Amino acid sequence: MNNQNAKLPNPRGEVPIRRPGSARRTSTIDATWPEEREGRIQLHGITRDCITPEKGHALHTIGHDELFVTADSDRCITQIRSTPDRPSLQTLVGIRALKELRQQLASVIPQDQQKGAPFYSLMHDITGVVIISDWAWASRKESLLPGPRAKRRAMMAKMESACIGFHPDSSALRTDGRYQANMAAFVPPFVREDDPEGWHDLPDVTGVSMRRARWLDLWIEDDIHIESGFQDSATTEEGPRKAVHEYSVRAIFDKQSMVLKSVIATPHILPFPECPGAVKNIHRLLGSAAPDIRDQVSQTLYKTNGCTHLNDALRSLADAPALVANLTTHN
């Protein structure tokens, strides 16, 4: 099932109020540049698992992790640490925070992967954040100058066939190096005034910064229901954050077998007109067991069959068993 006809941009807005008897997972990664655009990139990641009991609305935190990463101008990791500490992360120093990083995660933090722990998803998101982070600069006035525009045009030309938004006939490959101002959108804060505990504490970032934010709610009725959101946004000179990617996803798993019965993806903000077409293929995941979702996304929604960012949003569905365990153990 899909919804590819949504008018873009159409920001989703704040997250839902927490449901009684639900589990929630939130995460953010903020990227900043201490030496401006061509220098080091620093990442600060936070993730939290919590539940809201059937009776009352008090939030119970059952897991909280932080991640700190520094990569050089070639995007090689020079420093990495986490709270709680994971000494095995030091084996990642020296590798590029791109495809190589994702390939090594299973061997570096195997327990986090096997348990569907939020820290594994946070680490997996490093690559995506590094790839899209330059958009925080592309939306600034100085990026309209000939030099930055030429660099961005050359970078985007290398993306041909990487995803549906860059298929060979895509408008993305005909850009003159400007970012697509009419496709991005200012977005309201996620945090609700009437439910401030619904998000973990967000870092107070200043200057040029890029953020990937995720939330996922899970609750059990006759089946297992999931509602989630995914957003890439940047700080702006105007004040409010501006997003370049935003999706929401709703899914239903069979309560007994944990097989995916229904999935709907709604695109809210995407950079090119071709991008929303990726949702037409997500039905290929139906019938997959939750633990297999990550592999199924990679095998069936690769390159022009999917959207890189929608794929990242869909991979979080694989964590459903862990969130069910959180809910049944602590509720």
pLDDT per residue over 80-93, tens digit each? 999 999 999 999 99
Please report whether residue 269 resides in a domain: yes
pLDDT the model gives residue 119: 98
Please report whether residue 268 resides in a domain: yes
Please report whether residue 115 resides in a domain: yes
Residue 45 and residue 66: Cα distance in Å, rounded? Answer: 5
Please report whether residue 218 resides in a domain: yes
Task: Give the burial string for 242-273 (b: 16+ CB within 10 Å, else e).
Answer: bbbbbbbbbbbbeeeebebeebebbbbbbbbe
Please report whether residue 38 resides in a domain: yes
Using one digit for the tens of pLDDT, what is the confidence trace for 162-204? Answer: 899 888 888 877 777 666 777 899 999 989 999 999 999 999 9
CB 246 within 8 A of CB 269: yes
Using N-to-C axis directions, what is the helix angle for 308-315 and 118-132, rounded to 10°? 170
Please report whether residue 10 resides in a domain: no
Prediction pTM value: 0.93
Please report whether residue 4 resides in a domain: no
Please report whether residue 14 resides in a domain: no
Q: What is the DSSP string of 71-99?
A: E-TT-BEEEEEEES--GGGGGGTTSBTTH
Residue 67, token pair as written in the block:
């991640």
Number of domains in the chain: 1
Question: 3-state class of 128 per DSSP?
Answer: helix
Q: Which domain holds residue 120?
A: 22-330
